[in-house]
Amino acid sequence: MKVRTRFAPSPTGFIHLGNIRSALYPWAFARSQGGTFILRIEDTDQERSSQEAVDVILEGMRWLGLDPDEGPFYQMQRMDRYREAVRDMQDKGLVYPCYMSVADLDALRERQMANKEKPRYDGTWRPEPGKQLPPVPEGVKPVLRFKNPVGGVVAWDDKVKGRIEIGNDELDDLVIARPDGTPTYNFCVVVDDIDMRITHVIRGDDHVNNTPRQINIFRALGYEPPVFAHLPTVLNEQGEKMSKRNGAKAVTAWRDEGFLAEGVVNYLARLGWSHGDDEIFSREQFLQWFNLDHLGKSAAQFDDAKLRWVNAQHMKAAADEVLAPMVAAHFKARGITPDERLPRICGLLKDRCDTTIALADWCERFYKPVQVSAEERAKHITEGVRPAVSMLAKMLESVAWDKAAITECIKEVLRATGLKMPQLAMPVRLLVLGTTQTPSLDAVLALSDRETVVARLQDA
């Protein structure tokens, strides 16, 4: 059996990290099994769906490298198919028209609640042998209800939650088509999962209540249901369900804030799945290791500091040539023109940055005039060091512009003035890059441009 998985987001808000994790796992499972990953946009809630939300889904997936092999398919474009499936259900006698009005349904619900019963449709319009149905009211268009099996249980071995069994008597007859003939959500999902030959449904556990109903529809149509894995919720840092209503950012915002796709994939992979104690891994390792046997059973909590830490590890591991174009893109937005030094500057600074934005902030110091506050100046550029700084400036004017030669100049100045390295390095760092917290001085100077360094040191 060839594995076929799907991600089926509803474009009713900007998908956040918690949502996209429901794409990562089916994608990884399909990839790791040599299977097929399908993207299906569930846009039947036309009131709440938007093209902007679809764009965030597509862009976010592209950014993270979660490319579908098939799709995107849009449910709104499959309406004819669902109507045909509804007719098929009618032809097979699997559904019946129900004329109960909304007011009657509400009254029924209230009676049941008052009797402390679970509110459910009572089967008034369900045909049974020998049963007299009420007279069909005039001018009322019926909904179509699915004849849920009576008695017995619906059971499945959930890959996350283990065995789940629901008594059929707890499930009432689901509406599969509205009075105007439009099919309902649970029905469309089953038709799609059948047509798309989905073998594994990996989705959020907010759908676990839909599953027994969907399984019954699968079987009624003559299909065995797929394997299900219901992923626990992702909580935000406050321990609430992650949602854009309480501040979750769109997936693409993380890209714009300078996170690496590799870092985010690594972080999300661990948010609900584990491989021993491994915290940092590449996409390839993840795909080698991923299976449905090590999915976490409890809710995962988002942790911004951990995401930053994971991203920082991927920043360190990233090739300078990969980081440089990302920094160049941030530069472009800032009106700075990079040059051929940029990859080497990235290499020098990437260890201290958790995002490409932070890296661009650092790299910027090599391309823009630096600001040194009067306070810093007074603290580090004292009368005692000024002659040494001038001496260094003079020597750097003519020395070969490489690390070894620059190191020699620095040593010579220290010898001549009797200063200790930090006494000279602090003011030089401050003047050249505007901060005393830089990587090693010779490397910083070698990557700076000679005229700029000399001019900045002369400014002491």
**Interface positions with ligand GLU (CB under 6 A):** 8-10, 42, 189, 203-204, 207
**Least distance CB 380 / ligand GLU (angstroms):** 56
Pick the closer one to ligand GLU by CB: 8 or 20: 8
Pick the closer one to ligand GLU by CB: 207 or 344: 207
**Least distance CB 356 / ligand GLU (angstroms):** 30
**Least distance CB 10 / ligand GLU (angstroms):** 4
**Least distance CB 137 / ligand GLU (angstroms):** 34
Q: How far apart are CA 236 and CA 12, in angstroms?
A: 20
Q: How far apart are CA 171 and CA 347, in angstroms?
A: 61
Pick the closer one to ligand GLU by CB: 22 or 356: 22
Lookup result for tokens 């008594």: 167
Angle formed by the axes of helices 320-334 and 356-364, to 10°? 70
Q: Sort strands 143-146 and 95-98 into parallel, antiparallel or unpaired.
A: antiparallel
**Least distance CB 204 / ligand GLU (angstroms):** 6
Pick the closer one to ligand GLU by CB: 213 or 456: 213
* Residue closest to ligand GLU, measured at CB: 203
**Least distance CB 43 / ligand GLU (angstroms):** 9
Pick the closer one to ligand GLU by CB: 10 or 199: 10
Sign for the CA dihedral angle at 115, 119, 120, 123 comes to positive
**Least distance CB 303 / ligand GLU (angstroms):** 23
Q: How far apart are CA 369 and CA 363, in angstroms?
A: 12
Task: Name beta bridge partners: 97.
Answer: 144
**Least distance CB 184 / ligand GLU (angstroms):** 13
**Least distance CB 183 / ligand GLU (angstroms):** 14
Pick the closer one to ligand GLU by CB: 123 or 204: 204
**Least distance CB 443 / ligand GLU (angstroms):** 49
Which residue type occupies 367?
Answer: Y
Pick the closer one to ligand GLU by CB: 75 or 252: 75
Cβ neighbourhood burial of 383 (10 Å; 0-12, 13-18, 19+): exposed
Pick the closer one to ligand GLU by CB: 125 or 273: 273
